[in-house]
Structure 1
Amino acid sequence: MATQPQKHIIQIGTKKQQAILSKSQKEFNRLIKKIETLGQSLHSLREAAQHIQQRVQTDYRPLLEQYSRFRADLVRMFDRAYERKEFTKTEKKKLVDLIQKMAFELIDVHGLDELKPIYDKYDPDGFDQTNVESDQQTAYLMKEMMGSMFGIQFEDGADVSDPQKMAAYVQEQLAQREAAEAERRQQASERKSKKPKTEKQQEREAKKLAEERNITKAVRTLYLDLVKAFHPDREPDEAEKERKTEIMHRVTEAYEKSDLLALLRLQLEFEHIDQTHLENLAEEQLKYYNKILRQQAQELDDEFFALQNDLSALTGKPAFAVSTPIALEFSLNSDIAQLKRDIKQIKADIKALTEPVALKQWLKTYRIQKPDEFSFFDLM
């Protein structure tokens, strides 16, 4: 196993010298620290997410399958109870409601197709037709919600019959809208470019272009310095050539990402700059470095936010509940503990409700949901 290269600390000045640093030097240190922290947080959360996904497969899913099988046993018990003469018409109506709701979910979500005959026994349309109607209703509600959120008009005949197709359609519509907006901006820009520019506008554009070139040059200068030192093509010694090839991989990767911090760290690692060099960086050079670092920090912020949202969608928990490895682990442990409690409870319920008297007593507390109490979230 290859050892990880030592990370060199990038910082201008010692702690005692911080008070006398210039504004640009302090900003450089702040941005470096922010990028370091964000990078470590992102790496830790990614590793934790992979570990959690493995635990979901090994620890959570088997429990969920076990819980689903017990719920299926409960459906079968309700089905047998329906056939018994001692249950009243009202009680049987409640049993039908329970059977339909539980069996539908267990078939549709958990794939327990063996419950289809029981479901079909209590629904004249049968599971397959009801499932089509349910999908249509879900699609309608999703269209209403997506239309309201994104201002999308769904074309007649648009296939949005499942979440994947809905997401693809929405993405396509948003992409088309963005393309149309980009075209509009391009046309506006072309019209604007044809207008004579004032002297101030020309000065601003020239300054902006010069800054962009200097920012690109700042990264390229570091890159070329390392390339000159470590390009392996003219190296006669095979061992040294292999070492330089590995270094060049790291250098090229950092350059392609415009990763200024990585390039600076590589220069420190291979003694092409030292702490004195960092402390003597010119203010103009620092200004360009800081712009690059701000962009790096923003990209890491966006990446971390996207990962949080992905984990939130995966777990069904708010982003703050899955924002750190500890929170992610705690969330899964809580879900596993709750599922174990649910399994223990349903086993006790099945044992207790086997007796008709106990089941009749329990049915007194059960209330059939009225149609006007229906919520979109019941479909989820």
Structure 2
Amino acid sequence: MKPSPQASLFDDPPQQPPASDLLRIEQGSAALNPAQRSFNRLTQQLARARLMLEQWRLMQQRVRERVLAEMVPGTEALAALQRQLIEQLDGLLTHPPAGIKLTRRRRDALIEFLLARIEDSVGEGEDEALDDLYRHYSGIGLSERRQADQELELQFAEQMASDLYGDDVVADHSAESVEELLRHVQARMDDRFEAEQREREARADERKKKRRPSPAELKREQAAQAASVSLREIYRKLVSSLHPDRESDLDERARKTGLMQQINKAYQDNDLLTLLTLQMEVEQINASTLAALPTERLQHYNQVLREQLRTLQDELSAQAQQLEDQLGAHRYEQILQPKDAERLFERQLRELRQLQAQFKSTIAALANPHLRSAEIDAIAVAMSRR
């Protein structure tokens, strides 16, 4: 049955936020000055970043829904096919059908193929029946094989970490897997970095005490303080105008309560864009007010907007990383745009369905007396190439 086509994850993209239109200084008879041009550019960049963040969040939700609706059932169906194939291979090896001669080469290939299918089928949890079957054909239990492989990998990782970072980094660890060892090494490296950082900061503080701040440092500090004051002034104006306790009308009080929640959150997040937008919505300011702002005040605003943009860009990077983790992306499968996640998910789903088709084909061929011999030979050839 052909799967029904999936709707694009962007069938209903979020609407363009109005901030870039509301918070724009229009050019009048005189050209915009540098601070005004920076203000327009920053508000536009923030509007785009907010839209992109909304698209990332929408993508995360939709991928999560499709994983549950398609990937999980598909993975369960694949596991059932693997189990069916394992039982079929065991039957062929235990009771070869009439007319099938299992030469040493054929038998070894089928056993190798069977063991590989068991390894793929059994995850971190244990399956006693499959473990017994694995032991029957290999002479060692699957859990024991994995333990032996894990110990070899751990020894190799220990040596690599010791060569790269020094013996002290891997000393006295209690890791039982490569993943645990990597976490131990990372923790030791973090401790080392933090100690070095504290030492550098202590030396820098000592040097700083011995000299006066430079004019540039003083200017930056004063600008940061002025930006904070500007943000606080906008907040206070909004609060004084919209505080719900001063409102007797119940509907108006409810409206102002909602606005106050937005104002408090925006102030807490240093979200100047939202505070200015709210000022325009309640008509505390308008386009003319923005155009008439002194250059120094605009520069303070621009500093807050730049910091807000950096915060949003960090959030965008975090959203992309979360999607990479959610989809199990490899290092060479970077998700740089929401549509990259859609393509990766579709590819993974396509590969899953291809695997299902391959197992179904193998099961059908091994069950068909006219195709069985050729399929066994094809398996032998494939195993010889591993």
Q: Same fold (TM over 0.5)?
A: yes
1:77 aligns with 88
Q: Cα gap change, 1:298/1:59 in structure 2, threshold over 3 Å: closer, same or farther?
A: same
Q: Does residue 353 of the first structure (1) align with residue 349 of the second (2)?
A: no
Report the Cα distance in structure 1 between the residues aligned to 2:292 and 2:156, rounded to whole angstroms: 62
Of 257, 260, 268 in structure 2, the residue corresponding to residue 245 of structure 1 is 257
Moved more, 109-118 or 349-358: 109-118
Contact 1:107–1:113 (Cα < 8 Å) also in 2:
no
Of 241, 245, 252 in structure 2, the residue corresponding to residue 233 of structure 1 is 245
Shift of 1:49: 0.9
Report the Cα distance in structure 2 between the residues aligned to 1:246 and 1:336, rounded to whole angstroms: 43
Shift of 1:270: 0.9
Report the Cα distance in structure 2 between the residues aligned to 1:66 and 1:169, rounded to whole angstroms: 37
Contact 1:260–1:289 (Cα < 8 Å) also in 2:
yes
1:294-325 superposed Cα distances (whole Å, 9 cap, x missing partner): 12112212221222122123223468764444
Q: Cα gap change, 1:111/1:38 in structure 2, threshold over 3 Å: closer, same or farther?
A: farther
Q: Does residue 331 of the first structure (1) align with residue 347 of the second (2)?
A: no
Report the Cα distance in structure 2 between the residues aligned to 1:352 and 1:18, rounded to whole angstroms: 81
2:140 aligns with 125
Letter in 2 for 1:215: A
Moved more, 39-48 or 322-331: 322-331
1:378 aligns with none
Shift of 1:115: 1.8
Of 150, 169, 173 in structure 1, the residue corresponding to residue 188 of structure 2 is 173
1:261-310 superposed Cα distances (whole Å, 9 cap, x missing partner): 11111111111100101111211112121122112112212221222122
Q: Cα gap change, 1:18/1:132 in structure 2, threshold over 3 Å: closer, same or farther?
A: farther
Report the Cα distance in structure 2 between the residues aligned to 1:58 and 1:147, rounded to whole angstroms: 45
TM-score, length basis structure 1: 0.83
Of 61, 64, 70 in structure 2, the residue corresponding to residue 59 of structure 1 is 70
Q: Does residue 313 of the first structure (1) align with residue 325 of the second (2)?
A: yes
Of 80, 91, 104 in structure 1, the residue corresponding to residue 106 of structure 2 is 91
After TM superposition, the structure 1 = structure 2 runs for residues 278-293 of structure 1, keeping only pairs within 5 Å, are 278-293=290-305
Q: Cα gap change, 1:345/1:369 in structure 2, threshold over 3 Å: closer, same or farther?
A: closer
Letter in 2 for 1:55: R
1:177-221 superposed Cα distances (whole Å, 9 cap, x missing partner): 3431332133113321332x25xx353443232112111112111
Q: Does residue 367 of the first structure (1) align with residue 367 of the second (2)?
A: no
Report the Cα distance in structure 2 between the residues aligned to 1:321 and 1:202, rounded to whole angstroms: 42
Q: How many residues align structurally?
A: 361
Q: Cα gap change, 1:17/1:312 in structure 2, threshold over 3 Å: closer, same or farther?
A: farther
Structure 1: gaps spanning 5 or more residues: 371-380
Report the Cα distance in structure 1 between the residues aligned to 2:365 and 2:187, rounded to whole angstroms: 53
Report the Cα distance in structure 2 between the residues aligned to 1:150 and 1:277, rounded to whole angstroms: 59
Report the Cα distance in structure 1 between the residues aligned to 2:263 and 2:164, rounded to whole angstroms: 44
Report the Cα distance in structure 1 between the residues aligned to 2:310 and 2:345, rounded to whole angstroms: 30
Identity of matched residues, %: 24
Report the Cα distance in structure 2 between the residues aligned to 1:25 and 1:146, rounded to whole angstroms: 53
State the secondary structure of the residue aligned to 2:244: coil
Report the Cα distance in structure 1 between the residues aligned to 2:273 and 2:46, rounded to whole angstroms: 8
Q: Cα gap change, 1:149/1:322 in structure 2, threshold over 3 Å: closer, same or farther?
A: farther
Contact 2:324–2:335 (Cα < 8 Å) also in 1:
yes
Moved more, 23-32 or 247-256: 23-32
After TM superposition, the structure 1 = structure 2 runs for residues 149-164 of structure 1, keeping only pairs within 5 Å, are 153-159=169-175, 161=177, 163=179
1:108-162 superposed Cα distances (whole Å, 9 cap, x missing partner): 2586554222112123231222222233344455556777888892233332526
Report the Cα distance in structure 2 between the residues aligned to 1:146 and 1:257, rounded to whole angstroms: 41
Report the Cα distance in structure 2 between the residues aligned to 1:131 and 1:56, rounded to whole angstroms: 29
Report the Cα distance in structure 1 between the residues aligned to 2:290 and 2:374, rounded to whole angstroms: 79
State the secondary structure of the residue aligned to 2:362: helix
Shift of 1:102: 1.9
Q: Does residue 30 of the first structure (1) align with residue 45 of the second (2)?
A: no
State the secondary structure of the residue aligned to 1:367: helix
Report the Cα distance in structure 1 between the residues aligned to 2:124 and 2:78, rounded to whole angstroms: 13
Report the Cα distance in structure 2 between the residues aligned to 1:35 and 1:149, rounded to whole angstroms: 42
Contact 2:335–2:341 (Cα < 8 Å) also in 1:
yes
Letter in 2 for 1:154: V
Moved more, 332-341 or 247-256: 332-341
1:105 aligns with 120
Of 56, 59, 71 in structure 2, the residue corresponding to residue 45 of structure 1 is 56
Q: Cα gap change, 1:64/1:247 in structure 2, threshold over 3 Å: closer, same or farther?
A: same
Q: Cα gap change, 1:72/1:94 in structure 2, threshold over 3 Å: closer, same or farther?
A: same
Report the Cα distance in structure 1 between the residues aligned to 2:149 and 2:325, rounded to whole angstroms: 22
2:4 aligns with none
Report the Cα distance in structure 2 between the residues aligned to 1:174 and 1:367, rounded to whole angstroms: 42
Contact 2:49–2:312 (Cα < 8 Å) also in 1:
yes
After TM superposition, the structure 1 = structure 2 runs for residues 263-302 of structure 1, keeping only pairs within 5 Å, are 263-302=275-314
2:201 aligns with 186
Moved more, 322-331 or 208-217: 322-331
1:135 aligns with 150
Report the Cα distance in structure 2 between the residues aligned to 1:227 and 1:128, rounded to whole angstroms: 65
Contact 1:321–1:331 (Cα < 8 Å) also in 2:
no
Report the Cα distance in structure 2 between the residues aligned to 1:145 and 1:312, rounded to whole angstroms: 27
Report the Cα distance in structure 1 between the residues aligned to 2:326 and 2:226, rounded to whole angstroms: 43
Structure 2: gaps spanning 5 or more residues: 1-14
